[in-house]
Structure 1
């Protein structure tokens, strides 16, 4: 773990004493769209940052959002945060971080703006595909390993967006009313884990306001919690255009201001800050604290010269290599979720298939070049159609019809500045065209079904719907896909329904479909992983990191609280987000949190729950009772008892992923610090408290509980 040492702080103090006010101010605001100013006379380089959590963004001109290079900045397209969380595998989170850190350093950057670890409050948030989960424990476990991996390469990870950046509508100005309990139990824990367990070196302040105070002016968040409670010693940076006032942001623990326009000298931390210091409105000591934090991180990353002028050896990194394409594939393979598989329809028997019909525009699309700041200039990205053809080979005739119309999303280079305003989606409706495409697909499906040949539908969302700067307005599939799927199932009841998307969708036809497979924006090789699951080359082991509700009206952010409003949003649902609400209120869902099927089966037995020193140990035996090797995720949920307050009936406290061959049994042990296992934020006392006991539930999802016990 990279840490700020006494040697780092000593060097930072020495350099700080030699800096002029002009030099200090140059170090804490942008001198380019992704860099600050250096101080050449002291050997201090610029601080170079870049997006994003799914790969290093294409190189841009210093003062415009126009791409700079042709071929030299291609990188590995890594799976999205949702895909990574869907693996429930912290080792893969670490491997992803290693790949991203190496490629970031290889591209000459010092800070990568990720991981994105905001909690998914509503299925409609445009950036949900970047985020990991509705649950803080799953998010924290994946985030910690991700950060550790990134920072091995002399690169700072940047945990974002601090805090509660849960909607894109009015994202620069929306004020979110959130209880202390919800903040402490849901929206802050992943950030705390990134700081205290992973030693993250950078944290990004969010655009929004929390309880009336802008996050980049929020002394409670940036000073009281982040620095004083959690002992954060790295540097903080605003989201791009997150600073709106000089004095208010200068006097709290925000260190660096970044934005989206090229008038760098006019930024709030530039000339206006210098003038505020001259007038005595802002203390130069406030400026010094910011520069000190930046210098400490720079030295921890081996960026600053030693006293004799020599520079320490810094890792060089590398990018666009086969190693990290393999990492992307490894993650993608464990991220695919088999949602439904009635009658053992999957996997396809590739040796017996001679013809395959593929329907759906997402089969012939790629997604790396959209979504906002998560866009990637990918070395390559396979489409599902290419991957299926590649996987099945020349003995299988693959026929493709789009079924519905959806343009390949190509992100405009000027989107960044425009994204600061609420945007609207495009409406490319053409009834005659859509009817023709649907009729053609249904006719082909009827012929294939009557002949007994398999049909795969590949639909879902794209970055016209999952993207920064815009929330979806509903959970329905776009481009008329629901009507198309209904019509296809009428003539082909054995059609396999698959999706590529970043957020849940309603599935009114789900009871009719026998096989449903979910994949995310899963990187360069995501389509390969999907094809391998469909053909049985890979046994699926992904589990949902969020609930798929029946309808949007079931979601507590909409039925109890408010979401997507301009000006003010109420988090009235408090801690009852996602499965905490659905389980406690017994609300039916389409697919529950933690759900994921396999081509094999697992038996759970011998649950033992006990206290061991300051730890709660949950142990059970898992046996692969099927006919092929597979992975299961053992999930431990606690229902706290004796609190005297309303609590969710189940909360995830720990998990473990285990790989077993047929017939193999293994004891799985999940150790949870007692403070985490039994801790809760007491509303009455307005502080952390400890429950005296808990009901413990162990299973393969929040609703597929295999074993129960009591912890007294």
Structure 2
């Protein structure tokens, strides 16, 4: 529906006047696990929400965490937000959002609970794969396009988690101690930028506390800042189970309470709130404000009245969505090392033998991660991608080499992880010793099998890393070490086969220092959607040149992160943001801390050169030339940083552009410089550590 907020508000107020107290109460809390109650007599439908960031989640029964089990909720599996960020491509971020919005609309959802926008303060957060980056500018730029893509389909995007949701450990109770300037100008500014530039229709409040107040009940966060200073007029929903006190939440600027339990009439915004209104303890006008925001949302989405005929139709599982998934996946694969081994071009490997080692080569990831889990229409594994891309002339064999575990964890019958997530304080410490004696012996057996056979092949490809037993909601990592005894396997493998191509899959940095210096070819890929295996295979065999760049620092150790070394991340009750503005590369650059790979880093199969760099329009535009000096068509990301000075003592990204060039090509470019002061010194390059001052 088109119209100003004043027009929408007037229409919403007309509807509001016709509602009874019971009807209003029904609209502001869950009546099912993902749905509120409608008002049939006025043609007001329930508001239907769904996870998540990688695709529209499978349908559950209305009042139980039991999958419906039909075949109609298989969907397109999108690359995770960390993968989207590693494309450094605004267009691809927008296309990812459009797929998510179209499929949410096609599945009959009104609000898709995405994107996740929390900055990667520490590499240990179990939900980092759901977030874009450690950098606020890159996050806001890509999230803006993602939100626009979602909402182009008459579906509301929902920014989350507002705010400071940087750990899963004790996530339901942890309190954040932070300087207000850092809170406002770093962590909240990312949300404000996207609100200003994309007008997201909804926001989800976080589980944790800020300054002793739960975010879902915080007058400071939701009232003073979001509604007051920013003038946000959208819909604010709690994370599931994040409301703790009826009166405090009623007086705060949150519009709807959702939870994971089945006692819907006992939610804080259900019968308990009605009783508070009838007793006079809570003013009914507070409920009216909440319902008004919900009605405005419904009008924006063409959900009520005659506008319903104007609401967009949409499909899901389309060929176009799958092709877009492939292009996003292609753009996200990051080449970290290559001493001339890659690519394995088709004429060279014809009639040769390739051994693929590693459990992640033969594993899918769409069905894990917490609320990011979905029922993917399909998912191409790396093994499948290689076999289907190379064809029958090259023999490809597979050995697991390592295993994550033998027996699956069991949950009580009729539940899943989310149904019991409020019982264990919403998080636990990851990395407990899983391997019993039998498991260790089994791992040794399959490791030795892989090592004994690796010399019989012309090429060896190892595919390892993490999985959603580790990268998951409700669980933080203990450190960034590789699990499942992978280091032992890789070290021995590189000793026997120095030409082994190592591919890592995961949601964030892993410690590769034990064998990195001996590795000649290294690729990193995030959880890359349904076409991830095809994209990885295309990079390995040279069908495409890799173009991904890291959107986070790959530390040598978790302790090299300021969020861990200074902020005591993982404190059960209180986290201190002592690092201030110095997160990610800002901290490592300031203190010259060695890293495995810096923020912005990524190689390709060609060589690029910058020249004729100059600032125009008082530093608001960078002009220059980019030349592809190699023999391969390829893509490069030109990155602009403001250097540290007396007014801002950390380096910061202020501009970027991804540019494709034919072999030998050269082009002029202009890139906007997003620096509010416009007074700094700037440098340009292809990652944060290799820059030339302008």
- TM-score, with length taken from structure 2: 0.96
Hey, what's the Cα distance between the residues in 2 that align with 1:365 and 1:151? Answer: 33
**Preserved contact between residue 238 and residue 254 of structure 2 (Cα < 8 Å):** yes
Hey, what's the Cα distance between the residues in 2 that align with 1:673 and 1:439? Answer: 53
Structure 2 unmatched runs, 5+? none
Matches within 5 A, 1:182-201: 182-201=182-201
> Which residue of structure 1 lines up, in the alignment, with residue 577 of structure 2?
571
- C-alpha displacement of 1:378: 0.3
**Deviations, residues 254-279 of structure 1 (Å, cap 9, x unaligned):** 01000000100100011111111122
> Which residue of structure 1 lines up, in the alignment, with residue 689 of structure 2?
703
> Which residue of structure 1 lines up, in the alignment, with residue 639 of structure 2?
635
Matches within 5 A, 1:455-474: 455-474=460-479
> Which of 363, 366, 376 is the matching residue for 2:364?
366
- C-alpha displacement of 1:105: 0.3
> Which residue of structure 2 lines up, in the alignment, with residue 689 of structure 1?
none
**Deviations, residues 153-203 of structure 1 (Å, cap 9, x unaligned):** 110000000001000000000001111232223211221122110010000
**Deviations, residues 664-707 of structure 1 (Å, cap 9, x unaligned):** 212221213552xx3xxxxxxxxxxxxx72120100000121x3
Hey, what's the Cα distance between the residues in 2 that align with 1:211 and 1:305? Answer: 42
**Deviations, residues 363-407 of structure 1 (Å, cap 9, x unaligned):** 110000000000010000011111111111000110111111125
> Which residue of structure 1 lines up, in the alignment, with residue 330 of structure 2?
333
- Give secondary structure in 2 for the equivalent of 1:693: coil
Hey, what's the Cα distance between the residues in 1 that align with 2:234 and 2:638? Answer: 35
**Preserved contact between residue 27 and residue 38 of structure 1 (Cα < 8 Å):** yes
1:527 matched to 2:528? no
**Preserved contact between residue 170 and residue 428 of structure 2 (Cα < 8 Å):** no
- Give secondary structure in 2 for the equivalent of 1:352: helix
**Preserved contact between residue 402 and residue 443 of structure 2 (Cα < 8 Å):** yes
- C-alpha displacement of 1:212: 1.6
C-alpha change, 1:70 and 1:381, in structure 2 (3 Å) is: same
**Preserved contact between residue 563 and residue 577 of structure 2 (Cα < 8 Å):** yes
1:416 matched to 2:418? yes
1:543 matched to 2:543? no
Count matched residues.
680
**Preserved contact between residue 4 and residue 233 of structure 1 (Cα < 8 Å):** no
> Which residue of structure 1 lines up, in the alignment, with residue 455 of structure 2?
446
**Preserved contact between residue 2 and residue 151 of structure 1 (Cα < 8 Å):** no
- Give secondary structure in 2 for the equivalent of 1:621: strand
- Give secondary structure in 2 for the equivalent of 1:418: coil
1:582 matched to 2:588? yes
> Which residue of structure 2 lines up, in the alignment, with residue 356 of structure 1?
354
**Preserved contact between residue 429 and residue 477 of structure 2 (Cα < 8 Å):** no
Hey, what's the Cα distance between the residues in 1 that align with 2:327 and 2:224? Answer: 40
Matches within 5 A, 1:129-140: 129-140=129-140
> Which residue of structure 1 lines up, in the alignment, with residue 665 of structure 2?
664
**Preserved contact between residue 172 and residue 207 of structure 1 (Cα < 8 Å):** yes
1:610 matched to 2:593? no
C-alpha change, 1:2 and 1:95, in structure 2 (3 Å) is: farther
- Give secondary structure in 2 for the equivalent of 1:164: coil
- Give secondary structure in 1 for the equivalent of 2:418: helix
Matches within 5 A, 1:197-596: 197-306=197-306, 311-342=308-339, 344-353=340-349, 354-407=352-405, 413-420=415-422, 421=424, 422-423=427-428, 427-429=434-436, 430-448=439-457, 453-507=458-512, 508-596=514-602
**Deviations, residues 449-474 of structure 1 (Å, cap 9, x unaligned):** xxxx1110000000110000000111
- TM-score, with length taken from structure 1: 0.93
- C-alpha displacement of 1:411: 9.1
- Give secondary structure in 2 for the equivalent of 1:417: coil
- Give secondary structure in 2 for the equivalent of 1:395: coil
Hey, what's the Cα distance between the residues in 1 that align with 2:473 and 2:213? Answer: 22
**Preserved contact between residue 655 and residue 674 of structure 2 (Cα < 8 Å):** no
**Deviations, residues 315-337 of structure 1 (Å, cap 9, x unaligned):** 12110111111111110000000
**Preserved contact between residue 115 and residue 160 of structure 1 (Cα < 8 Å):** yes
Hey, what's the Cα distance between the residues in 2 that align with 1:509 and 1:491? Answer: 13
The range that moved more, 583-592 or 227-236, is 227-236
Hey, what's the Cα distance between the residues in 2 that align with 1:608 and 1:410? Answer: 58
- Give secondary structure in 1 for the equivalent of 2:667: strand
> Which residue of structure 1 lines up, in the alignment, with residue 652 of structure 2?
651
> Which residue of structure 2 lines up, in the alignment, with residue 142 of structure 1?
142
C-alpha change, 1:510 and 1:2, in structure 2 (3 Å) is: farther
Hey, what's the Cα distance between the residues in 2 that align with 1:693 and 1:73? Answer: 52
- C-alpha displacement of 1:662: 1.4
Hey, what's the Cα distance between the residues in 1 that align with 2:404 and 2:143? Answer: 34
RMSD: 1.6
Hey, what's the Cα distance between the residues in 1 that align with 2:661 and 2:641? Answer: 22
The range that moved more, 389-398 or 602-611, is 602-611
- C-alpha displacement of 1:640: 4.9
- C-alpha displacement of 1:82: 0.3
The range that moved more, 126-135 or 188-197, is 188-197
The range that moved more, 631-640 or 113-122, is 631-640
**Preserved contact between residue 179 and residue 580 of structure 2 (Cα < 8 Å):** yes
> Which residue of structure 2 lines up, in the alignment, with residue 688 of structure 1?
none
- Give secondary structure in 2 for the equivalent of 1:700: strand
Hey, what's the Cα distance between the residues in 1 that align with 2:376 and 2:315? Answer: 15
> Which residue of structure 2 lines up, in the alignment, with residue 97 of structure 1?
97
> Which residue of structure 1 lines up, in the alignment, with residue 51 of structure 2?
51
Hey, what's the Cα distance between the residues in 1 that align with 2:214 and 2:15? Answer: 32
The range that moved more, 540-549 or 206-215, is 206-215
**Preserved contact between residue 2 and residue 152 of structure 1 (Cα < 8 Å):** no
Hey, what's the Cα distance between the residues in 1 that align with 2:532 and 2:435? Answer: 27
- Give secondary structure in 1 for the equivalent of 2:517: coil
Hey, what's the Cα distance between the residues in 2 that align with 1:350 and 1:13? Answer: 66
- C-alpha displacement of 1:654: 1.1
Hey, what's the Cα distance between the residues in 2 that align with 1:5 and 1:346? Answer: 55
**Preserved contact between residue 143 and residue 190 of structure 1 (Cα < 8 Å):** no
- Give secondary structure in 1 for the equivalent of 2:193: helix
**Preserved contact between residue 636 and residue 654 of structure 1 (Cα < 8 Å):** yes
**Deviations, residues 472-507 of structure 1 (Å, cap 9, x unaligned):** 111111100011100101100110100111111101
Hey, what's the Cα distance between the residues in 2 that align with 1:279 and 1:370? Answer: 45
**Deviations, residues 53-90 of structure 1 (Å, cap 9, x unaligned):** 11000011110111113211110000001000000001
**Preserved contact between residue 419 and residue 468 of structure 1 (Cα < 8 Å):** no
- Give secondary structure in 1 for the equivalent of 2:587: helix
> Which residue of structure 2 lines up, in the alignment, with residue 687 of structure 1?
none
Hey, what's the Cα distance between the residues in 1 that align with 2:294 and 2:26? Answer: 12
**Preserved contact between residue 337 and residue 544 of structure 1 (Cα < 8 Å):** yes
**Preserved contact between residue 43 and residue 304 of structure 1 (Cα < 8 Å):** yes
Hey, what's the Cα distance between the residues in 2 that align with 1:16 and 1:35? Answer: 20
- Give secondary structure in 2 for the equivalent of 1:129: helix
**Deviations, residues 312-359 of structure 1 (Å, cap 9, x unaligned):** 3211211011111111111000000000112x1111122221110100
**Deviations, residues 196-230 of structure 1 (Å, cap 9, x unaligned):** 10010000000001122111111121122212222
Structure 1 unmatched runs, 5+? 679-691
- Give secondary structure in 2 for the equivalent of 1:416: coil
